[in-house]
A = this chain, B = another copy of it.
Amino acid sequence: MSNIEKSYIDSLLELLDERKYTAFMHEIDEINPIDAAEFFEFLPKERIPIVFRLLKKDTASEIFAELDSDLQEQIIKAMSDREVSSMLEELYTDDVIDMLEEMPAGVVKRIMKAATPEIREEINRFLAYPEKSAGSVMTSEFIDLHKNMTCDEAVKRIRKIGLDKETVYVAYVTDQARVLEGVVQLKQLLFAEPEYIIGDIMETNLPFAYTHDDRESVANMISHYDIIALPIVDKEKRLVGIVTVDDALDVLETEATEDIEKMAAILPTDKPYLKTGIFETWKKRIPWLLLLMISATFTSAIIQGYEAAIGTYAILTAFFPMLMDTGGNAGGQTSVTIIRGLSLGEIEPRDVLRVLGKEICVGAFCGITLAAATFLKVMALDFRFQQYTIQDNGLVQDNLLIAAIISITVFFAIMIAKTVGTLLPLGAKKIGLDPAVMASPFITTIVDTITLMIYFTIASSFLPF
């Protein structure tokens, strides 16, 4: 998403070419740091560190936090240790952690060496939180108050320490041991009398999460409670950080993208599509394609087992694709619905019986509808110009019989697809695996195999195999 005009980028480039550096700095200061970061992507790589050095210290760090990691790496490499150290002072912890996670080991080493001991300690603490935990996305730059302060004192404290904080709109009340006691909104302070006591106006019944909680559930809580930030505490309920709503937005977008990719049998990427190389894209897609191809050995084996019968009743194979796709689609509908419900926290593994009951009912209705429709379609379309006479006893009109075999198989294919589509994602979640992997491609393979077995079993009991 590019929100700055091409002509504006050109005018900035022109200022640089004409060495009008003061005018350039003035322009960059005026625009949003996110737009400024986008501008840097239009610069030739070798000019980036030089132009970056022109910027004011705080503008520079704001823009730096928004740059792509390859540009960040380039700038860091061109910086002196002292410059790196002062940049680290300016950045929010969560941005530093984001950056370090993308850098090659050598660059990380240099950054850690350049950091002050306090910052180094903080970085190490944050890096120790598990991947995708609340701790890994929180920031330690929050405002803390004490409950015996007056509102006036609180506002003064916010004015004093607020400039470097990720948000000034919520402040957290902690006791001597840094244990979280309550929350105060800047809005409350704005409307309260100056002499009111924080302890009297703070909310004590506030949502919070632990550092080891999953980042997705933290983001869901922020969304559920419509709050600007969620406090994150350690095991002793000491306040160690906050996750802000803009981070929650990023987490939810990333998690949704990852789920969608996994459901489509792709290994998740964290880069935008157009920035991912061909080889990298191949690497993310080929494993599942290979695995699913090899797992089709089951379906091949079943069909091979009935090779002789197929020689006689070749018409049966004309419905392989329809049966496979219908089972896959029906199973995909169920599994994808459940995977999304699990992500949004609308469904829990303990709902398994309720969900299964519902899916079996829905499956039965879908199965009956589709079996009836299939019967009519096969008779009216597929067998319109053909008359199959398989049994010569004159009792059975074979078109009807084959259409019936196909329809009954459709019904069972859907029932199995709905059951497998329910149990696999819920089971995965239950044993701590990622349910998103249990989406249509995986389920298709299983449902295909069972459907073929049913198809041949029914066919062989009605036709003289």
Chain B residue at minimum C-beta to C-beta distance from A312: B311
| B257 lies within 8 A of A260 (CB) | no
Interface status of A460 (Cβ within 8 A of chain B): no
Q: Is A74 an interface residue (CB 8 A)?
A: no
CA distance A265 to B329 in the complex (A): 7
Among A228, A245, A273, A336: residue with most chain B CB under 10 A:
A273
With a CB–CB cut-off of 8 A, which chain B residues contact A464? none
- 15 sampled A-B residue pairs with Cβ under 8 A: A1-B221, A30-B205, A32-B205, A155-B190, A222-B249, A223-B253, A252-B253, A263-B263, A286-B369, A288-B329, A289-B370, A293-B374, A293-B410, A310-B310, A321-B324
A441 interfacial by beta-carbon distance below 8 Å = yes
Query: Can you list, as one digit per residue, whether each of A144-177 has a CB less than 8 Å from chain B (1) or not (0)?
Result: 0000000000010011001100001100000000
Query: Cβ of A321 and Cβ of B448 under 8 Å apart?
Result: yes
Q: Which of A162, A264, A308, A365 has the most CB of B within 10 A?
A: A264
Q: Which residue of B lies closest to A308 (CB)?
A: B314
* Contact residues in B for A320 (Cβ distance below 8 Å): 303, 317, 320-321, 324
Is A289's CB under 8 angstroms from B329's CB? yes
Chain B residues whose C-beta falls within 8 Å of the C-beta of A338 in the assembled complex: 273
Is A370 touching B224 in the complex (CB atoms < 8 A)?
no
Known A321-B320, A452-B321; contact A292-B245, beta-carbon cutoff 8 A:
no
A431 at interface, CB cutoff 8 A: no
Q: From residue A251, how far is it (CB to closest CB) to chain B in Å?
A: 10
Instruction: Say yes or no: A299-B274 contact (C-beta < 8 A), given A225-B34, A246-B245, A366-B285.
Output: no
Contact pattern, A 391-410, Cβ under 8 Å of B = 1, otherwise 0: 00000000000000000001
Q: Does A462 contact B (CB under 8 A)?
A: no
B residues within 8 A CB of A311? 311-312, 314
Rounded to whole Å, the gap between the CB of A370 and the closest CB of chain B is 6
CB under 8 Å from chain B, chain A span 186-224: 186-187, 190-191, 205, 207, 220-224
* Contact (Cβ within 8 A) B370 A336: no
CB of B266 within 8 A of CB of A336, answer yes
A186 to B168, CA, bound (A): 9
Asked whether A286 lies within 8 Å of B317 as measured between CB atoms, the reply is no
Interface residue SS majority, chain A = helix
In the assembled complex, how far is the CB of residue A349 from the closest CB belonging to chain B, in whole angstroms?
13
Number of copies: 2
> In the complex, are the beta carbons of B273 and A299 less than 8 A apart?
no
Q: Which of B31, B186, B414, B440 contacts A440 (CB 8 A)?
A: B440
Whether A299 and B278, one on each chain, are in contact in the complex, defined by CB atoms closer than 8 angstroms, is no
Q: Which residues of B contact A315 (CB under 8 A)?
A: 304, 307
Q: A259-B260, A321-B448, A381-B297 are in contact. Are A358 and B304 (CB under 8 A)?
A: no
Least Cβ–Cβ distance between A239 and chain B, in angstroms: 19
- The residues in A between 243 and 301 inclusive whose CB is less than 8 angstroms from any CB of B are 245-246, 248-250, 252-253, 256-257, 259-261, 263-266, 272-274, 278-279, 281-282, 285-286, 288-290, 292-294, 296-297, 299-301
